[in-house]
Amino acid sequence: MTWDELMELPEEIAENIELRDGRPVWVADEIYAKRSTGEHQTFTRRLTNTLETAARQAMSSTAGSCWEVESENNLFFTRDRSSFVTPDFMINHCRDAEYDWIYAEDAVLVGEVLSPANTPPLLEAKKARYAAARIPWYWEVDLAPNPRRISAVRQYAFAAVDFHLPEGVTPLRPPKAGEYILTGEWTPEAAEGVGTLHPFPIHIPWSDLAY
């Protein structure tokens, strides 16, 4: 199936389909599980807003840099748009044209907020697609109840065949080429907030992510 063929379907059907190498995949259960709880939406919005603030600060201090932060927007792996996924949040280089599509080569960070819909097998499948597209950074966000909160944020770096991790980034286990390697993990018990220098300086106090 092509993107144009997908767009010819009724909207209530098309919005529940994801294309994977031209193959339509029904993802209504995942979408419903994400949208049925306010917590998933709220924490995704909190994180997206704080990342956008960090991106604006980075652009104001670094001449020539331009970043966009998106929430639940399609990320296309092919130019004919026959393969795409919808990350919970992502950071990409600014697009050349207004209202243009976002392609994998423009993305520098993609992330998923874990929920009942994001089962381990599903997350691994998504992570494999991001890795196949060689997106440099991948984040996973854990949620917890009583009280409802973000309980952990994990940062992964893509290890290419000829990869060189940025200065100051140390893998937490021996890397394998062509996959993501865990390079950072933040929890409220062990850190004052989420802090990293990649893809640009980011510091997020836990209070900014509170429900």
Residue 26 lies in a domain: no
Residue 192 lies in a domain: yes
* CATH, residue 82: 3.90.1570.10
What tokens were used for 177?
A: 């080429």
Q: Rounded to whole angstroms, how far apart are CA atoms 14 and 1?
A: 12
pLDDT at position 89 is 97
Domain containing 197 equals: 37-209
b (16+ CB within 10 A) / e for 181-207: bebbbbeeeeeebbebebbbebebebe
Task: Give pLDDT tens digits for 24-66.
Answer: 999 998 888 777 778 999 999 999 999 999 999 999 998 889 9
Instruction: Give the chain's domain count.
Output: 1
Q: What is the value of pTM for the model shown?
A: 0.89
